[in-house]
Structure 1
Amino acid sequence: MTRYAVIVRRWWTVPAALVVVITVCLVVGANEIPVPTLSGGMGSAQLAYFTPVLLVVALMYCLDRRLPDVEAVAVLSVKRLDEYAVVITVLLAHAAGSAVGLNFARNVMLVLALALLTRRVANEAAAAGVSLLFLIANVLLGRGLDPDGQVTHTWWAVSLYPAGSRTAWLVSCALFLLSLPLAFSKTAARR
């Protein structure tokens, strides 16, 4: 199974993607890119805000690489190994969170949960796309102005919450924990 994980599934791409994410976050720092808003004018978002998608794309790439005939006769459950790999990815993201910001780890859990749920009904490419579209929608639609005229986030834009928000952490953890059994169940599409 080690050869299968390294050669077929290519799980080594996930830690490599995490190194790329950490490097990008450290290099760009708090640099912001202009983002249009629906409330008029241009807003901005930190470039590092979109980096969880890189990790999700790497993970979906690994999950997409399959040999169904080999998996059917494998002694170990490949689905169980996939679940472990997803959990290890989240743990690695939390370890990297100390270097790049804890909201990175929370957002990885959040977009990964959405990607796993999308993968259940569609495929890995759609799952990666949905995770990016979710972050873009949060930036475009999830910001508003408070009574003082300061930019704030709406209640549903969980990925925009500050890193210390317990609500955002609880929502992200709950969604991730709910998505794991659903994504790898026997009734999942194509699996």
Structure 2
Amino acid sequence: MTWWIKARRAHTVLLGQFLLFCLLALLWRDTVLDLPSFLAGALPAPIVALLPVLLCAGLALCLDSRLSAAEATAVRPVARLDTALVVVTVLAACATGLVAWSLGGTSAGLNLGRDTAFLVGLMLLVRSVAGSRAVLAPVAWGFFVLFLGRGPGGHVYFWTVLLRPGSDPIADAAAGLAFAAGLTALLIRPVARTDS
């Protein structure tokens, strides 16, 4: 277990990024920026909607930091340890969102856990096929949503997930499905063949 923690660098990389994630979530919980949209002009968007990208990058780095020879012959359940790391990280993001929301933030803080689960699931799904390049998937999705996720009049499309209200059952279901599919992909295929 000690070699797994050291190989993944979770105690340094992921912990540092999570602390930054918490700090920014608390500082930016009410911050709304006017961001450009190709279909609807400049529209306000909560900046915390893009914070999960920070945790996705940290998780991707930790999951890609591996000792291939040791893991190939390991008797310990490395894939299950990686899955536990991902689940704990997403649960911690959910708790951070609840704290940010309870301190008087907008519903965007409450959505932080759902958005993190969705983007982490997306990253894990892409990672099972594209390997370490999957770290770009959450970033690309965030920009895709910001630029194309709103229609005329500012209506947020249902498929965006990130900008949908917390009470939206479609966004909640999409986040749950993406996260479950990502965890399944991590358990079945921990490393894409394109990396070897």
TM-score bucket of the superposed structures, by smaller chain:
0.7 to 0.9
Letter in 1 for 2:147: L
Asked whether the 8 Å contact 2:25–2:97 carries over to 1, the reply is no
Higher strand proportion? 1
User: Structure 2: which amino acid aligns with 1:164?
Assistant: S
Alignment of 1:1-191 (within 5 A): 1-5=1-5, 7-12=6-11, 13-39=13-39, 41-100=41-100, 101-124=109-132, 126-145=133-152, 149=153, 151-186=154-189, 189-190=192-193
Share of identical aligned residues, percent? 32
Are the counterparts in 1 of residues 40 and 150 from structure 2 also a CA contact under 8 Å? Answer: no
Q: If each structure's helix is expressed as a fraction of its own residues, which one has the higher value?
A: 2
1:170 partner amino acid: A
List gaps (5 residues or longer) in structure 1.
Answer: none
Count of residue correspondences? 185
Q: Please tell me the root mean square deviation across aligned C-alpha atoms, in Å.
A: 1.9
Residues 128 and 189 of structure 2 are in contact (CA less than 8 Å); yes or no, is this contact kept in structure 1?
Answer: no
* Amino acid in structure 1 at the alignment position of 2:185: L
User: Cα–Cα, structure 1 residues 133 and 68, in superposed 2: closer, same or farther, change >3 Å?
Assistant: same
Q: Mark the CA change 1:40 to 1:90 in structure 2 (over 3 Å): closer, same or farther.
A: closer
TM-score by length of 1: 0.88
Which stretch shifts more, 94-103 or 64-73?
94-103
Name the stretch that deviates more: 37-46 or 67-76. Answer: 37-46
- TM-score for both structures, normalised by structure 2: 0.86
Q: CA offset at residue 52 of structure 1? A: 0.3
Cα shift at 1:44: 3.2
- Return the letter of the residue paired with 2:186: A
The 4+ residue runs of structure 1 with deviation greater than 3 A are none
* Worse-matched range after superposition: 160-169 or 24-33: 24-33
Gaps of 5+ in 2: 101-108
**Alpha-carbon distance in structure 2 between the residues aligned to 1:39 and 1:19:** 35
Bigger RCO of structures 1 and 2 (CA < 8 A, at least 6 apart):
2
Shift of 1:188: 5.6
Secondary structure, counterpart of 1:33 in structure 2: strand
- Output one character per residue of 1:120-152: Cα deviation in whole Å (capped at 9) or x when no partner: 11122x22211011011112111123xxx4x22
